[in-house]
Amino acid sequence: MLRGALGLQFLDSMDLPRDKNYVMVLRVGGRRELRLERGDITKHTADAIVNAANSELLPGGGVCGAIHHAGGPSIAEECRRIRAERGRVPAGRAVATAAGSLPAKHVIHAVGPVWRRGKHGEAEILASAYRESTRAADELKLQSIAFPAISTGIFGYPVEEAAQVAIRALIEGLSSAKHLVRASLVLFDKATLDTFAMAAMAQRQPASDKGYEVEIGTMND
């Protein structure tokens, strides 16, 4: 077991730990990395966290409701101003607000697709929601961003299919970013974490059959 930065002990094996939570780090290139972990995104200290928003930017249930509750009414007030100025936010797009009482500096409200059996361009819309979020964070000159599993809650997107789309889109977004060096997927339960982690391990670098460098670590005691 190897000791790493950020309080992790990196494991020699690439097997996913069955009996404990873990963090997976996928090295995208240079200093850039994609992290996968289990946690509460409202407590995450990234420069920006992503809200799985609806097109009206209204407080809802699930992740959206939790972010608005933890961040306080100022987030909803800023969302109302954006909606009044720009109208509804289409699926696949994202807008940024301040983060209210959250540890993050900004909330990026990304609208994912409602799952309709995968026959209405859902994969491209979901990928766009991730890409637009990373673009918005990069335009704000932020270095880190944290995502939930967009559209996998009440929007009904199957987790396994969503994981494949999310991992590819985030690798692409990090690769083209000027300021972002870390994107995190902060996932609510271990089953979802395992699904996203397996999707990450299956990715191959462009124009190559070589996988990305991946490390799996547990928190130091």
Going by pLDDT thresholds of 50, 70 and 90, the confidence category of residue 107 is very high
pLDDT of residue 9: 57
- pLDDT for 52-61, tens place per residue? 999 999 998 9
Report all structural domains of the chain as residue ranges with CATH numbers, in order of start: 2-219 (3.40.220.10)
Please give the Cα distance from 15 to 203 (Å, whole number). 16
pLDDT of residue 4: 43
pLDDT of residue 124: 98
pLDDT of residue 111: 98
Backbone angles phi, psi at 57, to 5 degrees: 60, 30
pLDDT of residue 209: 83
Average pLDDT of the segment spanning 98-112: 98
Strand order in the sheet with 2-3: 2-3, 8-10, 213-219, 23-29, 32-38, 182-187, 144-147, 48-53, 106-111, 94-98
Average pLDDT, the chain: 92
